[in-house]
Amino acid sequence: MTLPAKKESILNIAVIVAALGYFVDIYDLLLFTIVREPSLKDLGVDLLNAKAVLGASTKIINWQMIGLLIGGILWGVMGDKKGRLSVLFGSIVLYSVANFVTGFVQTTDQYAYARFVAGIGLAGELGAGITLVSELLPKNKRGIGTSLVAGIGLFGAVFAYFTFKFTNDWRLCYKIGGALGIGLLLLRVKVAESGMFKETKDKSVSRGNILMFFNNKKRFRKYILAILIGLPTWYVIGILVNYSNRFATAFYGTNAIESGRAIMYAYAAIAVGDIAVGLVSQYFKSRKKALYLFYAFTILSGIIFFSGIIKGDVAMYAVCAALGFSTGFWAIFVTMGAEQFGTNLRATAATTVPNMVRGALPLINMMFLDLFQKTWGWDIVQSGIITGCIVMAITLVSAYFTEETFHKDLNYSEE
């Protein structure tokens, strides 16, 4: 049965459970970055050998990202074929088990393979949650609802940071993540399936057919644009914040910047930004205007980052937080991806789009590290500036051609 009308409150059970699910998702997704050095040291990697550390960490994170790409497709298709709830249940079981397994790995190869499986599981959480909330809430509330899902969920990164600081045991942190996931299964029993999906299930339309994104020019254009408007998020997190210690060395020399701490500050600010962007979108009655405002914040924060005014660790952490807030458009970006397509393709779009953006990080890294630094010999600052300019240029053009979806009725199917 679908939720009755009185459940149309923004804080209904679907919003709460989706938010908590994304909280655990982000906890797990960012945990490796936070425990990278102690976990690699425990597995026998020499932390004084920068090449060995970079090689091992890159391998593990790339396997996780590949898992996200594959999982994004698998869970997206399942969400449209079997229902949104099937993904919410299945994905969390998979990555909870993978978390427990990660707590027992003995080699970096085992670590990478466990994160690959976790990546497949993690890929389904946000897209299914955003799709379900978008379809259960009325259109005048869905932007705020999805922003709450993302905003609350992103505090998972903060929880991951302090969990490690409190336990000082990276293996226990992964096991805690697995336990949190299993706990969520009990809450999800009370969540109802989307009424729009149930109606579509009874129609003779193709559901979850990913090829439909490519066999129609208009749909293909919308799909590609939906991906490209989210690129700045992972440029900021994956390059500027993740390598904040290296940028700090280039800016002012000796420093004590911890990448995990910088990410914690950035994600706390992203969470605030994600809640704020829903309110801004509601105020403007426009997704695109809210997106443009936060793009402006991103550009301004990037200019400050590279301006030369960062001369100490406190300033670096503060600017990382500012960068995080400026990329707090993740909720609106994913919501727009869900709103672009009909009910029979909505879960596939909402699940694959954010994971395609996550999967773009290795390509951005290749441009930043391999092309500009290793091949062309540029320093980290030059490479960071040019990479950022290219990413923002692509994104701004894509946003301009993206459809406004604030008032769009979602109760339709793609033919």
Domains and CATH numbers, the chain: 5-191+206-401 (1.20.1250.20)
C-alpha span between 239 and 143 (Å, rounded): 29
Q: Count CB neighbours of 45 within 10 A.
A: 18
Q: Could you read off the pLDDT of 180-220 as tens digits, one per residue?
A: 988 887 776 666 665 666 666 667 677 778 889 999 999 99
Helices 13-42, 50-81: axis angle to 10 degrees equals 150
In the chain, the percentage of residues whose pLDDT exceeds 90 is: 47
- Torsion angles phi and psi, residue 145, rounded to 5: -60, -50
User: Are 286 and 173 within 8 A, CB to CB?
Assistant: no
Q: Could you read off the pLDDT of 342-367 as tens digits, one per residue?
A: 888 888 898 899 888 887 888 898 89
Residue 137 has pLDDT above 60, yes or no: yes
Burial class (CB in 10 A: 0-12, 13-18, 19+), 303: exposed
Which of 16-20, 26-30, 136-140, 303-307 has maximum average pLDDT? 303-307
Per-residue confidence at 89, pLDDT binned at 50, 70, 90? confident
Amino acid identity, residue 231? L
Q: Could you read off the pLDDT of 219-268 as tens digits, one per residue?
A: 999 999 999 999 999 899 989 998 898 899 999 999 999 888 999 999 99
User: Are 124 and 351 within 8 A, CB to CB?
Assistant: yes
Helices (H), 258-371: 259-284, 287-306, 313-326, 330-339, 343-359, 361-365
Q: Count CB neighbours of 249 within 10 A.
A: 14
Look at the block and give the residue holding tokens 């906890």. 27
Look at the block and give the residue holding tokens 């709830």. 85
Helices (H), 104-141: 108-122, 125-136
Helices (H), 189-258: 195-201, 217-228, 231-235, 244-252
- Hey, what are 227's tokens? 């991906």
Helices 125-136, 142-154: axis angle to 10 degrees equals 150
Residue-level pLDDT at 328: 92
Length of the chain: 415
User: Are 354 and 128 within 8 A, CB to CB?
Assistant: no
User: Are 208 and 34 within 8 A, CB to CB?
Assistant: no
C-alpha span between 297 and 384 (Å, rounded): 17
- Hey, what are 34's tokens? 């936070």
User: Are 75 and 130 within 8 A, CB to CB?
Assistant: no
- Please give the mean pLDDT across all residues of the chain: 88
Residue 6 has pLDDT above 50, yes or no: no
User: Are 260 and 325 within 8 A, CB to CB?
Assistant: no
Look at the block and give the residue holding tokens 């301004």. 300
Residue-level pLDDT at 29: 85
C-alpha span between 137 and 5 (Å, rounded): 9
The region of weakest confidence among 20-29, 86-95, 192-201 is 192-201
